[in-house]
Amino acid sequence: MRSPWICSIVLFAMLLAAALFCHSTAQASDKAPDFELYDMYGTRHKLADYLGKVVLINFWVSWCPECIEEMPSLNALYENHKGKGLIVLGVSADRKKESVLPVISRARISFPVLLDTTGGLFIRQYTVVGLPTTVVIDKKGFINERIIGRTDFGAPSFVKKIESLTGTRQ
């Protein structure tokens, strides 16, 4: 009879410890792993080709509501800065193109969306531990920030950050 109690107290302690010691964003200065994937329309995207530009990689999946909710602000950021040195790449964990296309159409996404059907980027290269995750990569190809959770990409502080990184801030 004691066992469920001990178990739940241990669980409580572990969850509490995780809550106390974790952070909303993880700063990282590692070189962003290079990759090559194709988007929905068959266009090849290789990260190394975007050196000299600021790249936002947004990891999402069609069944994640928070991922869909942040799409409009991400798309607006892309539309406003695409000619000013910003590249946005959506990377979906969906196994089938058919699951992704309705979301692209509904959310009117204009940035390229790549399919990572085997988890190459999600698991092996970028180790995505929460959805959505956005990785900000600077012009030199280094990871500037890793954001886990729904984000307002139209927030003045975020726009300011992107403009600073792209060098377009007045």
Q: Could you give phi then psi for residue 47, rounded to 5 degrees? A: -55, -40
- The torsion angle over the Cα atoms of residues 28, 33, 34 and 37, rounded to 10 degrees, is -100
Residue 7 touches another protein, criterion: CB under 8 A? yes
How many CB atoms are closer than 10 A to CB 73? 16
Please give the structure tokens belonging to residue 6: 């001990």
Residue 10 touches another protein, criterion: CB under 8 A? yes
Residue 25 touches another protein, criterion: CB under 8 A? yes
**Window of 20-28, 29-37, 70-78, 137-145 that interacts with another protein by CB under 8 A:** 20-28
**Window of 8-16, 30-38, 81-89, 105-113 that interacts with another protein by CB under 8 A:** 8-16
Cβ atoms of residues 104 and 71 within 8 Å: no
Q: Which of 153, 154, 147 is nearest to 132 (CA)?
A: 147
Please give the structure tokens belonging to residue 41: 């329309």
The site map against another protein for 71-110 (x = CB under 8 A) is: ----------------------x-x---------------
- Using CB under 8 A as the criterion, which residues of the chain lie in contact with another protein when the complex forms? 2-12, 14-16, 18-19, 21-26, 63, 93, 95, 118-119, 122-123, 127-131, 148-149
